Every structure is written in structure tokens, then in C-alpha cells.
Structure 1
Amino acid sequence: MNTTHYAHWPAGLPHAITIPDTSLYVNLEVSARRYPNKPAIIFYDTVLSYAQVHEQVLALAGYLQHACGIGRGDRVLLNMQNSPQFIIAFYAIMRADAMVVPVNPMLMTDELQHYVEDSGAKAGIVSQEIFSRTAPLVGKGALQTALVATYSDYLVAPTELNVPDFVRAPRDVPAQAGVVCWQDALAAAHAPRPHEAGPDDLACMPYTSGTTGKPKGCVHTHRSVMFNAVASPTWSGPMAPDHVTLAVLPFFHVTGMQSVMNAMIYTGGAIVVLPRWDRDAAGQLITRYKVTTWTLIPTMMIDFLSNPRLAEYDISGLKRVSGGGAAMPAAIAQKLLDLTGQQYMEGYGLSETMAASHVNPPNRMKQQCLGVPYLNVDSRIVDPITMKEVPQGETGEIWIHGPQVFQGYWNDPRKTAEAFAELDGKRFFRSGDLGYMDEEGFFFFTDRLKRMINASGFKVWPAEVESMMYQHPAVQECCIIASRDAYRGETVKAVIVRRPGTDATADDIIGWAQQKMAAYKVPKLVEFVDALPKSATGKVMWRALQEKEMEKK
């Protein structure tokens, strides 16, 4: 294990920490006991105290157990945008001894069907504006009950902030068998059974796509989820309960879930919730509620700092600005530093590591850098062919050993076995990302061993998109590649061989895709060709198409 980076370790912080030996839910229970009247959630100008949040968590957990038949280890789908209901539902599912299956609210019915069937989710908690995509799945197979939440139920206090129409929309839950209104579930006031889940019970299963096949569930226990919920606020210095964070990263994604939502619940801090990115609303909320910590992706920061109204907002109170998903452009990082005195703290993690495994030390931050292996983590750079560690400065695959590493892929022992390897008597997760370690022990990303497109921090796996594109009657062959994009970093391009006798246009293909898959996966560019390049064994040579695309100016 290389310890060069210890020279830049945060002052006074041990190299390893001890985390609570409980379920994650207990963090909320403890904070509610300690700070019952303190703000836990701020939704525009409506404030929910820790006592109120905890009371609703208990009521919802009781409903899941008594009315929905949810038991220990059962999976519950959680499908909504950032909202008070997401936080309450997340902890209610865990209080019911069940496992959260968070999904991207952009997913369409065909995509959601895989998550439901693969996880075997017995119930789903879904927001009203996207419920129509889940509705056809209720009562079919495992999914027997859907609790539908209306965001406007939590807009109690008057506000002059810009509230989107989908958030203001009045309650309109369809009358359908198996469908229950969120407010009715709470009003039932079922008391939950005694809490049984412990650190090694199933807690959360975010899905990640692979180079082949459909998305795979990453199995996390309360222990692996707990680690980053504790480590994240610990890394930057003591996180007092008086800290306030602005939640703009989606909670369904592990970074927003862990570094924002779960970290604040653990420390007793306040979460200012924004359901959808809005640079003016962000500026107003930071100013109004004296936000101290902010985790966001580079595209958000670029948009925020380019706002002509920026001078109207007081962002001087920020004490930590962090994120990941893509490298922060140097010019943007410098502008942030000039305005707030804060360096953008970059980090690196995956769904398999429940957010961060590497973070830049607060006292030695490097830009466009993944950071160092942080608390309790041993990370190596390994030659993916020889499976031997490479010298510092040389490129190899990033391997990770730490308490936040997942248990494996749900119901997929073969993929699980492929994802791990042993080195020096330790079990390491093979990230599939290529990088190198510099002379100070900092890690840098160079390429992907796996095939993946990074569009504004959203991971798009070409094989998944290709399999859906083949459903189009005009598509005979298709290869999905990345194309450069000034704003998103990368965007999705489809190289298509049309089926003989068809005349579909690029607009036809794109319009069809918009109905079939999440917006970030939809090809923004379509190129028609007579044939795709293939190897002697008949495999499509996607790398050749990718390299040709990247050579374009």
C-alpha cells in the first residue's frame, strides 16, 4: 500500500475511522432526538424540523409494513426528484427493514420494467409528475403497490421563489388498483414494528450499467452506505449541526445521496432542497439560508458563474464546494476561488463504492485530479493484463479496497466475480477506469477500460442504448459512440445502417428515442452509413468509429 499521500493528510485526522455499528436509519433517529426543533429540510421557504421528518418516517414505515406487506430485506422502488418526500421515503424504507432501490426519474416505462423485474420490488414510492411511466407496471409481477407523492403538499409557507409548475401542481393521484396517495398513507398512522435491520442487512441498491447487457444492481449493506455518510463530512473537518447544504445533485445518484442527504442527516445539518437545477433559485437559496456546503457537478458551476445576476447573490458564506463526475475546467475553478476563496474539491467514486473512494485533501487540492484514497481506503494502480501493480507515474486500472465497496451485483455471481481480484491478501474492486498516481500519491483519470459516455456526469453505456435502438424498425445495425460537446463534455451519437427499404431521418430516430429512453441517453447526433467497420470475427469495431469521431475539430 502506497502511503505517499499521507504527507498531505488533513491535519489531526486519523487515517482510518470507526463508524456506527447500526443501520443507517438510526442516524435520523439520533439527530431527531438531539435536535428535534432544528430545521432538517428546507423546501423553497417551507421548513420541516427533525422531529417532523422523523414522525413522518415512522408513519410511512408503518404503512409499508402493515398495508404493503414489506418485510426485512424486501426491495422498494424509489422514483422521484429531490424533495422532502424523497428523504422521508428513503429513511422510511430503511426503518421498515427494507432495501431502497433508487432510480433515475428520467427513466421511461420500458427501462423501469427492468428495474422492477430484476429487483423484485414489491412496492414503489413515486412522484406524481412521472407516475404515468410506472402506472403500467403496478399489479403486474412483483410490484403490487405504488405510493404516489405530490410535491406541492410540502409547499406550505408562501414563497416568491421561482417554483416550477411540476412542483406547484395540485394533488392529482389517479384512482387505480394498488395506487395509494402519500398523504393517505401518512394519515393511516400505522406504527412500525420494532426496527430489526443491522449493519449487515440490505440497505440500498443503486443500478449501474455495464459494457454489455442491462443495468445491474449494486448491493450495499447499511455498513457500506454508513461509511461514506460518516466519512464525507469528517474529511473536511468537523461538520457542526449548524451547517446548511444546498441539494442540487439528484438524491437517486450516490453522490447526492451520500455527500449531501445522508451526510447532513448524520450530522444534524439542514438540507435546502432544489428539485431541478435553476441557477437563480440556487443563488437566492444560498443567500437566504446562508448555505455553507455545496456539492455539484462542473456543468452546474459553469452555468451558475456565468449568470449575469451573480452579483445579486451572497455566496461568501460557502465553506466547502465539492463535486465530481467530470473534471472542473481550470478557468471556472479560478473564478470560484476569486469569488468565495474556496477551491473546488474534486473527488472520485462509483455506484459500486457508494460515492467517494478518492477525494482531494482540503489543505492540498489539485485541479482535474481524483484526489487521494481517503479514510480507510487502499487503492492501487494495476496492469489489467498482468494483474501486477505498476510503478508511480505509469497508467493502469484503478483498484479499490475499502468499507464502502459493494457486496456484488444483484443475482449476478459471474459479473460479481469478474469485478473483484485479490492483491496482497486483500479483495479489491476493479473500477474499469484507467489512471495513474503521481509522485505525491494523487490519482488522475486517463481513460476508461470499460466503454462508457460521460454526458454532464450522467453515465451512458453504449451497449444499453444500442439494444434499445435495435427496436426501431429502420435500424439494421447501430453503434453508439461519444461525441464532443461544449457544454455536456460528451454527448451520445448513433452511427446507423438503415434497414433496406426504409427512409427514416435523423429527426425520426431521435424523436422515437425520446419516447423510449431517458433524455440523457437519447442520441443527440445521428449519422447514417452504408456499413459499420467490423473485425475478422464480425464484431463491430466501435473503437475505430470512436477515434474517428474524436479526431474531428
Structure 2
Amino acid sequence: MFSSQIKPLFERLKYQSTATALINEQGTYSFAELGVRTAAIAQVLAPWAGRNVLVHGHKQLDAVAAMLACISQGCCFSFADQSNPVPRIEKIAKLTRAELILTATPQKLEGLDRWPQWVTSTLENGDPASLPLEPELTQPAFYILPTSGSTGEPKGVVVSYENFAAFSTWYSPMIRDGIAHGCHVSHACFSFDMGLLDLFPVLCEGRALLMLDHRHNMLPRQNIRLMSRYPQSPVTSWFSTPSFVDLMLKDPLFSGEQFADLKRFFMAGERASLGLVTQLQARFPGLEVMHGYGPTETTGMTHTFELGHPPEHISGLLSLGKACGLTGVRIVDADGQSLPPGEIGEVLLYGPQVALGYLPEDDPRNSAFSHDEFGRYYASGDRGFVDEEQSLFIHGRDDGQLKLNGNRIELAEIESSVCRYVGVTQCCAVPIKEEGKVIDLQLFIQLREDSATHRAALRQFLAEQLPAYMIPKSMFFCQTFPVTLHGKIDRQQLVDQHKEPLAVS
């Protein structure tokens, strides 16, 4: 199935379509230009056909071409963003069993001499006629996505071609149907599942992918300039984390007036608050806001649901709708027994999007991949519930429970209570530990309108929602939240930026 899905893209590369394929800070590139770069890299990859390859870079033309070249040669690839230090890249190369490194940066990576390296910019353009229309897939693994484990050491999620095909079958129509043939904005790095979910389906549909540079994460005007630079390729769809959306909303030019063609807007990767979605809908009247969810271990996204005006929610938790495609959902208690609608338990996800597992094979978290009478599943560690219509609501993480001053506290319950207040745009609760013991709980909040009155109203609201011991004493009100490389809230940076709590009026 994957081969037939990727075929339209390779036809455009091979037969040199002049339609725009990629837009980045350096310019626009046609499928023909992408094709000659893919062919060049595929030629040097030929001796490693069917092997594991590490691609290094960011949002360069050759970074995309290198991944497509891997597909053409049946190579399983991993992507390491250029922001990573060399020691981490070395860990990723070892973990993913890479036999070759392709770098889209100007120079080879120092200190990694045990691996053959190709600096792709040194390669002359290749002949796209040499590219296959349907690549020969000699191994099941499509890509390995490194992700940090509980120890801080990376582990690799192995996603197969069939996993990705199952996802793309239902996602591709969502980025095609009812959308003008403009460009799709992608914020996520290619080392993050959302970056790959955007890349291949968009190009297979013959659409242009506009890739935002992470140097401009905190500079929304720079992103807006790029999005407005090529009127022949207007922005018609978008995918990012809620945290990045919040940063973009800081600029008044990020609006329906500036981007009148923007039709469909996907948000996933972390909790989206009711306040943020309401603010986005006000800024872009008529926008289709798609609320998404799915672990990396289930090929990145299993749910996406168009939120209404006002958004559907239960006690501030936004609906994720029913599972998409062939994914199944079961909510279970601590004994693995199914729970009825409305009761919170662990979310189990079933179906063909469930990844092959983790590397290394002896990683203890591989126990999260299992079988039961309903089929193969991934135990997500997320806590949630379904309503009577089987729409999913995510409450938080199973590992977000802690003890403070003898009281058992769930971070997810605190965060969901704060987000229930309509004036809140974003929030996160962070435990502060000393010698492994939780000594404090800090709450970071971003209000749509920050004032002493609104702060006091929120505090009163929380007093009505939570017991006193669950309301953090250290409360910080922030104008913006810093984000990680992958566009999620950077919790450690928040803690580092705020050493003393602000007084709450």
C-alpha cells in the first residue's frame, strides 16, 4: 500500500514537474529541483540499499531529498536535527544502527569518523530518470524516530511502511479535500513525528510544503514574512503544536485578514486549551480547527476532530472525536478491564498504526506493545475517557502523579482545572525536586488578558475546583511560554526563568 501511495510523488520527481514542492528561508523549489537532488543522493546511497541511514540537517532542500533518496533505495532512515550536539548524534547513530550519515549542512560532522559521511551539497545534480516509480522496499522499517526515555537516554520508535500507509490513508484526504491548491505550513522538525506526518502526504498530494525555520520560533513576524513572500503559493493549511500557535498569535498580523486562504488548521502534540482555540477562532473567522492526538508509537496521530464554534468540551477538556482510520480505542482500569463511557483510565490504542516497537529491543518500555483478544495494541500511558459517542478526551499522563507534603497530587488534574477557565491561554504545572523528593509545585499560566483582576478571578475559580493542597503556592503569570525544538512547552526553561513566585493580587 505504501508503494502505491508514494508513486505519485516519485512520478513528479522522475518526470520533472515544475509545480512548487518546497518553500523555505532560502527560496522555493519545484518537484523537478527536488528530483535532481534526490537522484544525486540516491546514487551515492546505492551501495547501502536496504541499510539504516542517519540524515542530519534541518529544513534544507537536501534534507528532504535525502529522506526521499532513502525511500528510493529501501533504506530505513532516522533524522537528527542540526541543533543536536555531536555526542547526542553519536548516540542516535548507535541506537538506530546507522551505517552511513548524510548531512545537509555545509560541513561533515566532526568526531563521527567511525561512520562514512556524505555532505550532500558536494554532490552534483543527478538524473531523475534513474529514480524508481515504485521503490523496492526490502525491509519493513520505514524510519526510526529517536525519543528521550525516562533516563534521558534516547530510544528509537520503529515505524514500518505499513504503519505509515495506514495513517496516510485517512490523513491525506484531510489535507486535500476542500482546500485550495496552496501551500501547507509545517513547523515541526523532521526529528519529530509531526514533521514526518506533514512531509510525505503533502508532497504525495502534489502540494507545496512551507517549512518554518526554528531559528524564528520566538519571532512570529519572521514566520509571517515567509508565509506572505510567495502570493502564488498562498497558505491554505497548517499543522503545529498549540504552544507554537500561541506564539504566532502574539503578532496581530497572524490573522484571517492577512491569510484569507487559510482553511484548515491542525493542532496536536500537547494539550490545547479552550482559551487558545477560542482566541484562534476569533482571529480567523470560519477557520476549520482540527484538534489532533496520537503517540509517536502509533505513527503520530490517531485522532483529529474539527472543533465547533464554540468548541466542544467536557469541563474544559476539548474533544478529539472518534479514532480515525482503522485505529481502535479501549479505556482500561489498573487491572486491564474495560471502563464504561465517562470513566477515566489508561488509553489503549489498537490497529495497523501501532509501531513495531522500541530500540534497543531490551528497553523495558517494549512491554507497552502487546496483544490481547482485541488485537495488537500500544498502552499509551495517557489517561482519558470516551463519551457515549466514543469521542476521546485526554485527561493527562499516567506518570503525572506525585506526593507533596504527604498529599497525592495529579498534575493533569491541576492543568485541566486551570485550562477550564476560559481566560487561560496556556498553563503547565512543574514539580520541583530535591534529592528525588518533590519539595514544591510551580504553576505557570498565560492569560488572554493579564491583570490583577483576572489573576484574582482565576485564583477564586481554582479554589472552587480544587482542594487547597492541590493549588500550587508558587504561581507565575507569563506573557509567553518558551518552546522546545519540537514546539512544545519548555518546562525546564520556565523554571529557570522564574526563580521567585510573583505575588498574586
TM-score by length of 1: 0.67
1:381 paired to 2:331? yes
Deviations 1:324-362 (Å, cap 9, x if unpaired)?
122333233223222321142111112211211111147
| 1:433 counterpart SS class | strand
> Any unmatched runs of 5+ in structure 1?
1-19, 148-180, 467-475, 489-513, 528-548
2:238: which partner in 1?
Answer: 294
2:387: which partner in 1?
Answer: 438
1:407–1:356 distance in 2 versus 1, CA, 3 Å: same
On the 8 A contact 1:103/1:206 being kept in 2, the answer is no
1:283: which partner in 2?
Answer: 224
Q: CA RMSD in A?
A: 3.9
Deviations 1:474-504 (Å, cap 9, x if unpaired)?
xx9567998533469xxxxxxxxxxxxxxxx
On the 8 A contact 1:376/1:402 being kept in 2, the answer is yes
On the 8 A contact 2:167/2:325 being kept in 1, the answer is no
Percentage identity across paired residues of the two chains: 19
> Any unmatched runs of 5+ in structure 2?
402-410, 416-424, 448-483
1:355 paired to 2:300? yes
Aligned-pair distance for 1:196? 5.4
Q: Which amino acid aligns with 2:58?
A: Q
Q: Please point out which of 397, 405, 427 is paired with 2:354.
A: 405
2:120: which partner in 1?
Answer: 182
Aligned-pair distance for 1:254? 0.9
1:118: which partner in 2?
Answer: 95
| 1:440 counterpart SS class | coil
1:50 paired to 2:31? yes
| 1:249 counterpart SS class | coil
Q: Which amino acid aligns with 1:307?
A: D
Give the whole-Å Cα distance in 2 for the aligned partners of 1:76 and 1:37.
Answer: 29
On the 8 A contact 2:293/2:320 being kept in 1, the answer is yes
Give the whole-Å Cα distance in 1 for the aligned partners of 2:328 and 2:165.
Answer: 18
Aligned-pair distance for 1:212? 4.3
1:76–1:386 distance in 2 versus 1, CA, 3 Å: same
On the 8 A contact 1:23/1:199 being kept in 2, the answer is no
Give the whole-Å Cα distance in 2 for the aligned partners of 1:401 and 1:327.
Answer: 22
1:163: which partner in 2?
Answer: none
Q: Which amino acid aligns with 2:213?
A: P
On the 8 A contact 2:220/2:250 being kept in 1, the answer is no
Matches within 5 A, 1:85-484: 85-128=62-105, 134-136=109-111, 138-140=112-114, 143-145=115-117, 147=118, 181-187=119-125, 197-198=136-137, 201-212=140-151, 214-235=153-174, 238=177, 242-258=181-197, 260-276=198-214, 277=217, 278-287=219-228, 288=231, 289-310=233-254, 314-340=258-284, 341-361=286-306, 366=312, 368-383=318-333, 385-413=334-362, 415=364, 417-450=366-399, 477=435, 483-484=442-443
1:519–1:306 distance in 2 versus 1, CA, 3 Å: closer
Give the whole-Å Cα distance in 1 for the aligned partners of 2:157 and 2:4.
Answer: 18
Deviations 1:244-303 (Å, cap 9, x if unpaired)?
111222222111211x21121121101122222341233234443311001111222222
Give the whole-Å Cα distance in 1 for the aligned partners of 2:86 and 2:34.
Answer: 31
Aligned-pair distance for 1:366? 3.2
Aligned-pair distance for 1:414? 5.8
2:480: which partner in 1?
Answer: none
Give the whole-Å Cα distance in 2 for the aligned partners of 1:86 and 1:293.
Answer: 22
1:313–1:135 distance in 2 versus 1, CA, 3 Å: farther
On the 8 A contact 2:144/2:158 being kept in 1, the answer is yes
On the 8 A contact 1:101/1:204 being kept in 2, the answer is yes
Aligned-pair distance for 1:439? 2.5
Aligned-pair distance for 1:437? 0.9
Deviations 1:77-105 (Å, cap 9, x if unpaired)?
12222232221111112212111112344
Q: Which amino acid aligns with 1:144?
A: P
On the 8 A contact 1:283/1:310 being kept in 2, the answer is yes
Give the whole-Å Cα distance in 2 for the aligned partners of 1:519 and 1:75.
Answer: 32
Q: Which amino acid aligns with 1:352?
A: E
Compare relative contact order (CA 8 Å, sep 6+) and give the higher one, 1 or 2: 1
On the 8 A contact 1:233/1:239 being kept in 2, the answer is no
| 1:228 counterpart SS class | helix
TM-score by length of 2: 0.73
Q: Which amino acid aligns with 1:206?
A: L
On the 8 A contact 2:289/2:307 being kept in 1, the answer is no
1:228–1:184 distance in 2 versus 1, CA, 3 Å: same
2:21: which partner in 1?
Answer: 40
Q: Which amino acid aligns with 2:245?
A: M
1:71 paired to 2:49? yes
